[in-house]
Structure 1
């Protein structure tokens, strides 16, 4: 934990004062508190009813940092006072999920210094910033396509589960459940989770890529894609959207414009808000329940 916190401050340019916006019992929130302790700077805590501008004004020890998930960033950018407050930070870490290019560009236009992070509890939080591993961290892609991580930020193992630990932690390397590649500039690109593939009619459909495409539609506020059992196809791709004025055929055509037709969702669930966990990540359990209840088209 200390190694991770120290590496974060080294990458960002030194210790500072943090604004806590995430639950403290999740690794991203825990790390905000630990970084604050190591920096000797009391964190400012933003509760759900607080005003971001007022919270930022309480940060008296520059540099100013905070950590968000993409959903939080999206919502804050929609309110001009909040967008202006975000621009007052020296770095805004965004993790817990992929940050779409449009969202990042929107933040940059408003002067928000976004840093896209990749990591998990087993790596004590973010260990790769903007595609580049933190100091002391090594990243490689296994033959299976999985991302592997080594370095002082790794956990020691799962409590009481030596068997599970042995399957993912070998010779100092942690094998994640994420697929990735290293681009021509040596940066890590996360392609999705191993279990984020729906096999429909014998075709492997990467749900992350489909969801990313749907988020590009101007009528879509939020999008997630999961699989549901189906008697004919084995599994079908189900789009869960917070959107207006869209039907299934429009969704299928939009996805098919850039991806194979076989990737297009065969079912559509429209919701007021995509279900999220307290840490801002998609609630996969709730999404899968919605998908299972979705009626096949007749």
Structure 2
């Protein structure tokens, strides 16, 4: 027993840190519901017993090729059955699953391979350049296998499973702090960092998600996947596996709203995980009126707050089923929740406009000033959090860890306020706030106002350098189909809806806003596009 396990705190000796290996979730589903369909992808489906057997076979194949407890298995793939199986096979060995966003370029994936110290690389057959880049960056890589047949790999994942069909690779013993998943940040500021998720932490996250997001989930339900399984959608599906909920994948690698609504009706889908931009596309698509979606109970959105006007549309189309949670990858979604019952379809005296909800079960949130002291209710500060869902830290990055934690609190980098009832309101990223003429301006507030204009579908507001005022605001808008509005008319319309110093000095109209691989609008990408178009010359003007 390690010295840490023998430590005595408060007179109580910890006997063991052992916890359940998360791969056991799949074994449980297979044991209880062996013949129920657990996974659907296009025209193909697999029962829970088939999924469990394939995970055991792949685990045995990986072990034969030198993968063992603590080793990192890099996975670069579009959504698919084998990609999802690779998670449980990796967990089974006590190794660490390191998924990437399949939209990353080869050099970016090579960096993730190097930064994670990957020992094995499972790569989709459509990405030979990524395989070459990883091999060049990691000459000591011991295994390169492909999802589907590919000339760059000596063997495919399917062949590995076939070679070990019927194998029963044992579950590795794991402790609470043993890593299970490297969850790479999106890298909006600097290079991506590997947030270390552990078996014990994720067991809490699964329990918490079931309590706060999808209460009552069971083997009778189905969940639709509309986002990459490499990140938030993967966490959500791990939660569904804990209740033997059938997973349904979109057949293609691009989001298709019509197909999503068809699958919801066909499989009587009960819940799905989305981001606000995807939910907006779903409820604005005519398919929402053509297909039965009465079985939906929990339509979860996260990754960014949802604008009020978009909330109203979603509630009118779907009814009281949308659930918001706020939480970064480092806290695996577990910061706040706004359940369906608190989503008001119409504005009124009881509406808590702009809130992302209250503290998740078992978690504590504080709004802190720059020194780490808690601020009073209603005052702006940084949103900080502590509790069992907080990650173990960034892998091999002490500098980032020093910045991310203060007095045991994880610092989200988001600014917000908390009211006296404990509801949290995000005012923006600390990096998004800009100062114009000495006044702090939070783009989120301005964006909410602009989106109430009948012609505006999407908007991003950000501060840009200005020789007179330090920074000024610019707004980049996407118009609704068939709508039109001039820049001057929109600025004039905003004039009586916010203080003059908050008004954007320039408004640009684009056909679409750049989005990350997870469907989120990021200010970094908008700023880069503004620079590429040569649109950042300051306009100046009176304050």
- Same fold per superposition (TM over 0.5): yes
Q: CA deviation at 1:3?
A: 1.3
Runs (5+) with no aligned partner, structure 2: 1-201, 339-356, 371-380
Is 1:56 the equivalent of 2:264? yes
CA distance in 2, matches of 1:18, 1:171: 39
Say which structure, 1 or 2, has more relative contact order (CA 8 Å, 6+ apart): 1
Is 1:67 the equivalent of 2:269? no
Q: Which moved more, 1:132-141 or 1:250-259?
A: 250-259
SS in 1 for 2:242: helix
2:215 corresponding residue in structure 1? 13
Contact 1:227 1:291 in 2 (8 A): no
Q: CA deviation at 1:86?
A: 4.9
CA deviations on 1:116-142 (whole Å, 9 max, x unpaired) are 110110111243111122211111111
Is 1:97 the equivalent of 2:304? yes
Match of 1:2 among 186, 194, 203: 203
1:252 corresponding residue in structure 2? 491
SS in 2 for 1:25: coil
Pairwise mapping of residues 165-176 of structure 1 onto structure 2 (< 5 A)?
A: 165-176=401-412
Pairwise mapping of residues 125-140 of structure 1 onto structure 2 (< 5 A)?
A: 125-130=333-338, 131-140=357-366
| Larger of the two Rg values belongs to structure | 2
CA deviations on 1:127-181 (whole Å, 9 max, x unpaired) are 3111122211111111341111111111010111112112222343211111122
Runs (5+) with no aligned partner, structure 1: none
CA deviations on 1:204-252 (whole Å, 9 max, x unpaired) are 2211111111111101011011122233332221100012433332232
Pairwise mapping of residues 14-163 of structure 1 onto structure 2 (< 5 A)?
A: 14-16=216-218, 17-26=222-231, 28-46=232-250, 47=252, 48-49=255-256, 51-59=259-267, 64-82=270-288, 85-110=292-317, 111-130=319-338, 131-144=357-370, 145-163=381-399
* TM-score, length-scaled by structure 2: 0.51
Contact 1:242 1:272 in 2 (8 A): yes
Q: Which moved more, 1:287-296 or 1:128-137?
A: 287-296
Point out the structure with the larger strand share. 1
CA distance in 2, matches of 1:13, 1:237: 42
Give the length in aligned residue pairs: 295
Q: CA deviation at 1:76?
A: 1.2
CA distance in 2, matches of 1:59, 1:171: 47
Contact 2:309 2:451 in 1 (8 A): no
Q: CA RMSD in A?
A: 2.2
Q: CA deviation at 1:264?
A: 0.7
